[in-house]
Amino acid sequence: MELFDVLEKRHSVRAYKEKDVEEWKIKKILNAAVIAPTAANRQAFKIVVIKTKGRENELKKIYGSDWFSKAPVVIGIFSVPGKAWTKSSGKNYGDVDAAIVMDHIILSATDLGLGTCWIGAFNSDNAKKMLFPDEDAEPIAFTPIGYPADTEFKKIRKDINELVFYK
């Protein structure tokens, strides 16, 4: 798919088919994720891949909506703040890096005909406890990945003139 078509096609998918995601697609998505740019090339992130089958109740403790754990795969991104670049103002870029990695995942999944949904409203304490309890790792975002069961979507956006400023 052309990049601009991928950008148009990506939307938040909140209904998934039971169909499994092919392993080669997951690998391709992960390879796209790890080539994401990160501040000072620190690559201070951890990607967690979870096959949801049989783990639905556990996953509900991370994010309660049924469709989240019904997708065959869930991917989470953790930043490693202690290793991420921090600028002189004190701002740590670990969460920015993790967001870029997640965008690579989401856009490459879209290109492969898969649905995703950025999840920010997950339970951070449970995610940390369940996945990396003893490490320097802060959960930043999750997404389900699977074949979309929705049929249509609408992009609701502000007018470009409200968002872009030429100065």
**Residues 6+ away with beta carbon under 8 Å from 28:** 108, 112
Contact positions with ligand FMN (CB under 6 A) in 11-70: 11-12
| 121 lies in the site for ligand FMN, by CB under 6 A | yes
DSSP symbol at 92: B
> Shortest Cβ distance from residue 88 to ligand FMN (Å)?
26
> Shortest Cβ distance from residue 22 to ligand FMN (Å)?
24
Q: Looking at 81-89, 113-121, 128-136, 144-152, which segment touches ligand FMN (CB under 6 A)?
A: 113-121
The percent of the chain in helix, strand and coil, each rounded to the nearest 5, is 35, 20, 45
Which phi and psi angles does 16 have, rounded to 5°?
-125, 145
Among the listed residues 43, 60, 100, 118, the single contact to ligand FMN using CB under 6 A: 118
- Indicate the helix (H) or strand (E) that contains 74: strand 73-79
Residue nearest to ligand FMN (CB): 120
Using CB under 6 A as the criterion, which residues of the chain lie in contact with ligand FMN when the complex forms?
A: 11-12, 117-121, 153, 155
